Every structure is written in C-alpha cells, then in structure tokens.
C-alpha cells in the first residue's frame, strides 16, 4: 500500500465517520417511511428475520474480516507484503464455502425453522428473500477487512453509502408494490430491497479491488515458487485469530436470536396476542433501537480504525501509542454520544410523533436513552480487547451479559405489569454490564482507564445543554413542532460544543481532523 493511500488512525476513523453519518441519516428515510407503508406489525415481521440472519452471518464471517484486517496491518508494519495475497485468498475461499453451505441450510430448513424457531409464521417469505445476503455480505466482509488492514477506509465508506442509497430506494419501492398482496409480502419486499443494496455495496468493493490489481500483481511477482507450505500456516493462523472472535460474536448473535424468540413467547405468556407482540417488537427493534444507535456511526468508525492501529502499535511494543489511540477513541465516543442521550431523553415524545407518527412508543425511548453512553463506549473497548489478542475475554464478558439479559427477559416480559418494558429493562442491564466488564478487562491488561474529569465535565455540559434545550422548546417560538424541535436541538448542541471547547475536552486540533470542514480551523 502506498503512503498516499494509507491513512492515519484519526483520518481513517473520520472517513468512516463521515460515511457513517451519511448512512445513519439516509437510513432513517426507510425507518420513518416503512412504518407508514407496512405499519408497526409489518416492521415487526421484517425485524423478526434479522436475528436468524445475524447468527448465520456470524458463522460465515465471524472474526475472519477482523483477522484479515489485523494480520495485514501487522504485515504492513513489518514490511512483509508476501503473505497478503495468501491471507486474502484463504479468507475468501473459506467465507465462500461457508456462505454456500449456510445458504443451503437456510433454504432447505426454512419450513422447520419458521415452525419451531421463529415466533410468527408470517415471516416465511421475508426469511426466504433474505437468504442471498449470506453469500453477498460474506464476500463483502473479506474485501472490507482487506482494505481496513491496509488502513484505506475509503472503499468501505463508499460501499456503505452506495448500499444504503440502493436499499432505501429498493426497499420502499418493493414494499409499496407488494403490500397489496398482504402484509407479509410487504415485509418481504422491504427485505428484497436490502438484498439489492448489498449487491450494490459489493460491486463497489469489487471495482475498487480490481482497479488496484496492478499493486497485487507486483506483490505476487515476489512470491516464492512453493505455494503450499506458505498456505498451510496462513489457514491455521487465520482460524486461530478468527475462531475466538467468532465465538464472541456468536454469543451476541444467539443472544439476539433468543431475545426475539423469548420476548415474543414471554409477551404471549403475559396475555398479549401474537399480532400485538409482533408490533411491539417491531417498534422496539425497528424504531427505538435505531434511534439509540444513531451515534454509533462514530463508535463503529473508531472501532474499525482502532483495530489495525492498535495491532500495529502492539506489534512494535509501543504502549504509549496504544494508550493514546484508545483515549482518543473513548473521548470522541463520549463527547459525540452525550448530546444524543440528552435530546432523546428530553424529547422522546415529539421525536416519536414526528418521525414515526407513533407517540405511544415514546416511553420506550425515554427508558433506553440513558444507557446510550454505555453503548457508545462499548465499541472502542471491545475493539481494543480484540486488537490486543484478548478476544476470549470479550467472549466471556459478552456471554455473562447475554445470560443476565435472557434471564431478565423471561422474568420481566412475562409479567403483565412490565410486558415489552421488561424486555427493555433487560436490554439496558445487558448494555451496562458488558461495557463495565470490558472496561475492567482493558484496565487489567494495559492499565488504561478514562479520566474521571472527562466524565465530570461532559456530565455538567449535558445538564446545561438539557436546560437550554428544554427552555428553547418551551418557548414554542414557531408554528410547527418539528421546527421548534430542530431549533431547540441546534441551540443546545451549539452551547454544548462551546462548553466542550471551554472545558478543553476538544480543541482546534480535533476539529482540524474532521473531513471537509477541518481546513476552516487551521
């Protein structure tokens, strides 16, 4: 990889952040529109397919893209370009084989899975339509791992944007066209749009890879004649790196699948009809959780850039750089996520009414909003554990959180006094517990911890920001509620940023790194 193409940690993170923000904002187009086309119950059918898809994708990809990114980053730091081709080819062959096998399992086993695993039989068509995504996403993930290992985040960013745009257009179009045939067909149409989007994202990665193929040819000309001896340890080490991460992610994926199943069954035990339970689950996973995850555009970009950066620093034994990168990630995650927590907690009702036309789901958003901070801090901590060769610790932490969450879902959601809010409480406990365990693990391994003053300053700024937002909203200076909401959010965020600068949590150097706008602060 040329020096011009390889990006610094912060620049790579900011490129992915820019793409992530665009994707999150664009992604809310179907989030807002789809419930208006197929309703909360249709969204529930659409969402019920995803937990099973997530499990299958974890088996196919798991830790392979991360292992590819980590290993290529290590090879780059050591000037060893010979193994890059072997790593890529071995990973691609493994993912393709697993993708074909899992697709066959899903297609052949669909009737049994729908009857015995998923809680609503109407999800069958959506389930069948989504099966091509296994192979498509699997192949895309290897390409993304390759580019991330080279610390070139542009192909990943562009492919994400293309995938999102195509998914929006196709999902809404197909859902609208197929809805007259029934609610389950409308949900299947939305899923078909997701397949179209993934095809577009893969096409971008293929184009970028083969455009740069002359670089690979230069590397291949240096390879030794004996290919087989090199290939065997590559395969073994690839499995050695990816299996622990796959195990950790499988815990999360199975937890997500069991969460959907146990939530539906617990709501039924509480006396809630299947259709109502599906609608409530659709509201939680299709409307509330995406709002909470909006700031993860940043935490995802930080985590993706952090893994090769920390791996490279660890390979050189540079502990000071490891601490510096991790502190940058945690501070950015905290500072960027805090304003969203304030806004979602204060304005849950107008947000749900304006976006979804479902003000009755606002209490869900109010209940889950405060734990958003823990979500935003969790991704950099988990990335650090993986980059520092401690994926087994991340697995144990995730497993503990999953067991506690599933126990609480069964205990609380089956109680008529709690219902869907019992599941929400269980999710909150899981988020906080796993983040705290990750933090303790990172502290134990490398002695890293966030500075208490950072939390104190950000907490004070959140209180002041919240007061300013509430005051502005209460004045109702304009006619339309959505304009007043935007005005209150904008005014309070400006005050928050001024406080962040005044408290020296962020400075001019942080602003310079922002793509497009950074030159303004030089």
pLDDT tens per residue, range 290-344: 888 887 766 666 666 666 677 777 777 777 877 887 887 788 888 888 999 999 9
The reported pLDDT for the residue numbered 14 is 65
Residue 421 pLDDT grade (very low, low, confident, very high; cuts 50, 70, 90): very high
**pLDDT at residue 51 is higher than 80:** yes
**pLDDT at residue 516 is higher than 50:** no
Name, in order, each residue with C-beta under 8 angstroms of 292's C-beta and a sequence gap of 6 or more. Answer: 344, 365, 368, 369, 372, 375
The reported pLDDT for the residue numbered 181 is 93
Tell me the pLDDT of the chain averaged across its residues. Answer: 82
DSSP class per residue in 240-268: HHHHHHHHHHHHHHHHHHHHHHHHHHHHH
Check the CA dihedral 25-29-30-36 and report its sign. positive
Residue 247 pLDDT grade (very low, low, confident, very high; cuts 50, 70, 90): confident
Residue 223 pLDDT grade (very low, low, confident, very high; cuts 50, 70, 90): very low
R_g (Cα) of the chain, nearest Å: 23
The reported pLDDT for the residue numbered 407 is 95
**pLDDT at residue 189 is higher than 50:** yes
Do residues 303 and 333 lie in contact, with contact meaning Cβ atoms separated by under 8 Å?
no
Could you give the angle at which helices 213-220 and 183-211 cross, rounded to 10 degrees? Answer: 50
The reported pLDDT for the residue numbered 8 is 57
The reported pLDDT for the residue numbered 343 is 94
User: Where are the domains positioned within the chain?
Assistant: 9-259+272-450, 451-522
Report the percent of the chain where pLDDT is more than 90.
32
**pLDDT at residue 520 is higher than 60:** no
The reported pLDDT for the residue numbered 31 is 78
Retrieve residue 71's tokens: 């290993």
**Spatial separation of the C-alpha atoms in residues 326 and 418, rounded to whole Å:** 39
Q: What is the mean pLDDT of residues 238-246?
A: 74
Q: What pLDDT digit, counting tens, does each position of 436-466 carry? A: 999 999 888 888 777 788 889 999 999 999 9
Q: What is the mean pLDDT of residues 387-403?
A: 85
The reported pLDDT for the residue numbered 217 is 58
| Cβ count near 421 (within 10 Å) | 18
The residue among 115 and 368 whose pLDDT is bigger is 368
Q: What pLDDT digit, counting tens, does each position of 328-386 carry? A: 778 888 888 899 999 999 999 999 988 888 888 899 999 999 999 999 888 888 888 87
**pLDDT at residue 33 is higher than 80:** yes
Q: Which of 62-76, 192-206, 226-240, 468-482 has the highest mean pLDDT?
A: 192-206
**pLDDT at residue 228 is higher than 60:** no
**Spatial separation of the C-alpha atoms in residues 63 and 250, rounded to whole Å:** 10
**Spatial separation of the C-alpha atoms in residues 51 and 44, rounded to whole Å:** 12
Under the phi-then-psi rule, with left for phi > 0, alpha for psi from -120 to 50, and beta for the rest, what region is 49?
A: alpha
Q: What is the mean pLDDT of residues 161-172?
A: 92
Residue 401 pLDDT grade (very low, low, confident, very high; cuts 50, 70, 90): very high
* pTM score, whole prediction: 0.74
Q: What is the mean pLDDT of residues 473-483?
A: 82
**pLDDT at residue 222 is higher than 90:** no
DSSP class per residue in 312-349: HHHHHT-HHHHHHHHHHHHHHHHHHHHHHHHHHHHSHH
Q: What is the mean pLDDT of residues 180-204?
A: 94
The reported pLDDT for the residue numbered 459 is 92
The residue among 126 and 231 whose pLDDT is bigger is 126
């Amino acid at each position: 990889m040329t020096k011009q193409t390889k990006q610094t940690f912060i620049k790579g993170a900011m490129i992915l952040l820019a793409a992530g923000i665009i994707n999150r904002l664009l992604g809310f187009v179907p989030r807002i529109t789809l419930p208006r086309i197929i309703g909360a119950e249709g969204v529930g059918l659409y969402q019920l397919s995803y937990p099973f898809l997530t499990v299958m994708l974890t088996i196919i990809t798991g830790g392979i893209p991360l292992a590819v990114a980590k290993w290529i980053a290590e090879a780059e730091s050591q000037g060893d370009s010979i193994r890059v081709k072997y790593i890529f080819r071995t990973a691609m062959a493994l993912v393709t084989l697993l993708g074909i096998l899992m697709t066959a399992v899903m297609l052949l086993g669909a009737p049994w899975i729908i009857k015995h695993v998923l809680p609503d039989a109407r999800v069958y068509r959506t389930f069948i339509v989504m099966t091509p995504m296994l192979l498509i996403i699997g192949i895309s993930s290897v390409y993304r791992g390759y580019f991330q290992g080279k610390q070139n985040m542009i192909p990943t960013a562009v492919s994400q944007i293309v995938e999102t745009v195509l998914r929006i257009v196709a999902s809404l179009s197909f859902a609208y066209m197929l809805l007259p045939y029934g609610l389950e067909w409308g949900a299947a149409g939305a899923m078909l749009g997701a397949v179209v989007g993934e095809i577009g994202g893969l096409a971008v990665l293929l184009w970028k890879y083969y455009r740069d193929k002359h670089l690979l040819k230069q590397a291949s000309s240096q390879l030794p004649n004996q290919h087989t001896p090199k290939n065997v340890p590559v395969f073994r080490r690839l499995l050695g790196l990816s299996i622990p991460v796959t195990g950790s992610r499988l815990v999360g994926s199975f937890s997500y699948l069991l969460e959907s199943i146990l939530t539906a069954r617990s709501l039924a035990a509480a006396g809630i009809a299947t259709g109502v339970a599906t609608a409530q689950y659709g509201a939680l996973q299709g409307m509330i959780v995406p709002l909470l995850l909006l700031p993860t555009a940043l935490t995802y970009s930080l985590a993706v850039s952090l893994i090769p950066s920390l791996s490279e620093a660890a390979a050189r034994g540079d502990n000071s750089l490891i601490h510096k990168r991790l502190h940058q990630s945690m501070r950015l995650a905290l500072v960027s996520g805090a304003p969203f927590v304030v806004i979602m907690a204060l304005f849950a009702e107008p947000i749900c009414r304006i976006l979804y036309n479902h003000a009755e789901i606002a209490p869900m958003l109010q209940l889950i909003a405060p734990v958003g901070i823990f979500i935003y801090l969790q991704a950099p901590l988990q990335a650090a554990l993986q980059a520092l060769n401690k994926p087994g610790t991340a697995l144990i932490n995730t497993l503990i959180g999953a067991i506690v969450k599933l126990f609480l879902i069964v205990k609380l959601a089956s109680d008529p006094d709690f219902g869907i809010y019992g599941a929400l409480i269980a999710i909150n406990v899981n988020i906080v517990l796993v983040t705290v365990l990750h933090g303790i693990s990172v502290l134990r391994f490398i002695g890293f911890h966030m500075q208490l003053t950072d939390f104190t300053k950000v907490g004070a700024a959140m209180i002041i920001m919240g007061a300013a937002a509430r005051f502005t909203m209460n004045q109702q200076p304009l006619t339309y509620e959505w304009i007043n909401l935007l005005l209150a959010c904008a005014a309070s965020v400006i005050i928050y940023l001024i406080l962040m600068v005044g408290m020296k949590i962020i400075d001019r150097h942080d602003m310079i790194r922002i793509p497009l706008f950074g030159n303004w602060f030089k």
